[in-house]
A and B are shown apart, each in its own frame.
Chain A
C-alpha cells in the first residue's frame, strides 16, 4: 500500500506583506463569487501564503547588516591604524582569530537555523574579516597595499564563501570587490580610455553569461549578475560616447587579454549549455561590446569650439545605440520580472541624453537655448522610449495570454 500522505509534496507557505495577502483574499473572493474558481480552490490558493510583517523585519535586517558593515569596516580600520602595540605576528593572529570566529559562528548559526538576517550579518562580518586578515598580513610584511592584487584575492575568497554556502552577503562582498578588481588590475598596467570601454563591455558579456548560467541553479545570484551586466552595458556605451575617449587607441596588456579570453569562455559556456532564447543576453551584451568599441574608436577631432557633421553623426549614432540598449534592457526586465533593469535603463537614458546634449551642443548653444535644445532632445527620446516600452509590454502580454498562461503579472501601462 502506498502512503500518499508521505509521498505528496509538502505545501510550502510563502511569506507576503499583509497588504498583499489582503489584496489576494479580496481577489479570490471576487473570483469565487463570479464562478471562476471554486471555494476549495480559493482556500487552497489562500493557504499557500502567510502574512508577515516585512516592515518590522526589514528594519531589523537593515540594522543587523548595517551593524555588521560598520563592525567589519571598523575592524579593518582598527587593524590598519591602531593595533601598533602588538607585534606583527600578534596582530595577524588576533585578526585571524576574529575572522575565524565569525566564519565558524555564521555557519553554526546557519546549521541551527537561526534567523536569516542574523546569519547574514555573521557571514558579512566573516567576508569583511577575510579582507582584514589579508590586509593585516600585507601590512605586517610591508606588502604594498596600493596594488590591485590584494583586492582580487579578497574577491576570490569571498566569492568562494558565497558559492559554497549559497549565502548572499559574502557573495555581495565578492561581487563588489571583484568588480573593483576587474577594472583596477588592467588599468594598473594601462590607464587608457578605451581600456575602460572594453572592460565595461567585456564585463557586461561576462556578467550576462554568468546570469544565464546561474538561471535555475542559483536564481538570486543570477539576479545579481544580471544587474551587473545591465549596469556595465549602460556604462560601456556611456563611456564610449564621451568625445575622443579612444583617441589613444587600444593599448593591449596581458590582463586585458586575459579579461577578454575569460569573457569569451563564459559566453561560449552560456551558448553551449543554455540553448534557446536565453543566449540573446550574452549575445546582446557582445553586440554592446562591439558597438561601444567602434564608437569609442570613432574620433571626431578635439576642436570643441565647432560642431561639424562628424560630431552630429557621432552623437546621433551614440544616442540611437543607447536608446536601443535601453529598450532591450526594459524588454529583459519585463521578461525576467526584473524591475531594477527597467529603472536602470530609464535613469541611464536620462543621464546619457543630458550628458550628450551638454557635450555636443554646449560649445555652440549657450544659456537658455541649451535648455530648450536639451528639453527637446529629451522629450523626443522619452516619447520614443515610452512608446517602444508600451508596444513591447503589449506584445509580451499578448504572447503570455496566448501561451501557457503562467500567471505572470502584466506590466503596468
Chain B
C-alpha cells in the first residue's frame, strides 16, 4: 500500500477511535438537555491527575457510603454489580434522584451509571480545572452551588458548569 495512503488511513482511523472513546460524553454535550443538580465538594486534588474538583451530589446519593479512592454516589449493596439507572425528578428548581434501578427506564430523564467498582458512578463525579480555579471552585461549592449537567436520551451525562445557586 502507498505509504501516504497508509499514513492517512492510520491517522483518520485513530482519530475516529478517539471519537468512539468519547462518544457518550460527546453525545451528552451535543444532544443532551440541561439539568441543574445540587453539588458539594469531596476532595480537591489528585497529585497524579492534576487539579480537579471531586463533586458530590447530595440529591443523587443513594446512601452515605463513600470511597476515598473513587468518589461516587453511594452503593446499592444488592449483591450485584453492573449498570445502574438513576431516574430524575424536579423538586424546587433542581433535579433529584427518584429511583435506582438495574434495568433501563422506559422514559427519562435518567442517568446511566455503573457500580462495578462498588460506588455508583455516572461520569459526573469529577470536574477538571486549572489549579487556581479548582481552589476557587472549592470555595464556591462550600457556599452552596449547582452543577449544570447535560444528559442525552440514553442517560449519558456530562458536567458543563458549576455555579453559585
Q: Which residues of A contact B (CB under 8 A)?
A: 80-85, 88, 96, 100, 103-104, 107, 110-111, 130, 133-134, 137-144, 146, 149-150, 153-154, 156-157, 160-161, 164-165, 188-189
Contacts and interface: CB of A to CB of B under 8 A. Distances in A.
5 contacts: A137-B22, A140-B128, A153-B21, A160-B9, A160-B10
B142 interface: no
Given A141-B26, A142-B158, A143-B123, A150 B50 contact: no
Contacts of A150: 21
A143 B21 CA distance: 8
A110 B2 CA distance: 13
B58 interface: no
B29 interface: yes
A85 B130 contact: yes
B10 A141 contact: no
B49 A141 contact: no
B48 A81 contact: yes
B140 interface: no
B48 A80 contact: yes
B14 interface: yes
B11 A100 contact: yes
B14 A157 contact: yes
Given A165-B10, A189-B82, A84 B121 contact: no
A144 B121 contact: yes
Contacts of B124: 142
B22 A160 contact: no
Residue of A84, A103, A149 ringed by the most chain B CB atoms within 10 A: A84
A143 B11 contact: no
Contacts, number: 94
Given A103-B7, A189-B116, A142 B121 contact: no
Contact of A153 (B18, B51, B116): B18
A142 B3 contact: no
Contacts of B128: 84, 88, 139-140, 142
Contacts of B158: 141-142
Interface string B20-47: 1110111001000000000000000000
Contacts of B17: 134, 153-154, 156-157
B22 A143 contact: yes
A187 to B, nearest CB: 10
A164 B10 contact: yes
Given A81-B49, A103-B10, A103-B11, A138 B21 contact: yes
A88 B127 CA distance: 12
A157 B17 CA distance: 7
Contacts of A107: 3, 6-7
Contacts of A88: 128
B123 A142 contact: yes
A156 B10 CA distance: 11
Given A156-B17, A189-B116, A138 B130 contact: no
A188 B129 CA distance: 29
A149 to B, nearest CB: 7
B87 interface: no
A84 B51 contact: yes
Contacts of B1: 164
Given A142-B159, A143-B123, A164-B10, 4 more contacts: A134-B18, A141-B25, A149-B21, A156-B17
A140 B124 CA distance: 13
Contacts of B159: 142
Nearest to A165: B6
A302 B18 CA distance: 46
Interface string B41-82: 000000011110000000000000000001000000000001
B14 A133 contact: yes
B50 A80 contact: yes
Contact of B126 (A100, A137, A142, A156): A142
B55 to A, nearest CB: 10
Interface string B150-165: 0000000011000000
Interface string B103-127: 0000000000000110001011011
Contacts of A160: 9-10, 13-14
A161 B25 contact: no
Contact of B22 (A96, A138, A157, A164): A138
A271 to B, nearest CB: 29
B85 to A, nearest CB: 16
B36 to A, nearest CB: 17
B11 A188 contact: no
Contacts of B50: 80-84
Nearest to A156: B17
Nearest to A110: B3
Contacts of A81: 48-50
A143 B7 contact: no
Nearest to A151: B21
Nearest to B29: A141
Contacts of A143: 21-22, 24-25, 123
B131 interface: yes
Contact of B3 (A111, A138, A153): A111
